[in-house]
Amino acid sequence: METPQEETTASDSGLPAPSLPVSALPSELSAAAGIDWKYFLRTAIPLAALTDVLTMTLHPLALFVFLPANLVWAISRYKRHRPLAIGSGQGARMGALMGLLSFALFLVYFLVGLIFLHAQYRDTMISQIHQISAQNPDPQVQQMLQWFATPDGLIAFTVFALVSFLLICLALGTGSGAVAIALGKDRKRL
């Protein structure tokens, strides 16, 4: 029994053809086709590296400009290669991957820098912690900050900062990817 939403035709072999919902638009079908991750990675990796270099060179807050801008650029290049419609969820996944790549490359830069500049990093961080501790009158906060100045505390602080940076990259990438696709769809409708 056929439903009004489905259309079935007989093929030359006498077997019924697979039924597709009549309501399925070509854009919905192409969005279900998936993302060509291999091609997207070829575009996203260099742009993630560019994001990291510009962010480290200019200012850490530049990440909030360069990651979304480079993601939009990567998605537009991807759409030129593969002109199928992309859903907002797929854009969010592309953005999450771009955020993860940006974090991974930053982590490589950070760890290489830490290997060569370990003493400078430790001295700079301990100096900053002591400076913040001296400005805070609360004894409990001062005690906690003094613990961060110990070797174990400095490791814990660094791990916490890196995990926070990972979460920021993922959230920024995911949100930017979904918004980029949504805004691109609105522009096509006009």
> Which of 123, 117, 97 has its CA nearest to residue 37?
97
Structure-token pair, residue 174? 């995911």
Contact 111, 92 (CB under 8 A): no
Read off the amino acid at residue 55. T
Contact 189, 84 (CB under 8 A): no
For 111-169, how does the pLDDT look when each residue is reduced to its tens digit (9 = 90+)? Answer: 999 999 999 999 999 999 888 888 888 888 888 888 988 999 999 999 999 999 999 99
pTM of the model: 0.74
For 9-29, how does the pLDDT look when each residue is reduced to its tens digit (9 = 90+)? Answer: 444 445 555 544 444 444 444
Per DSSP, 13 falls in state T
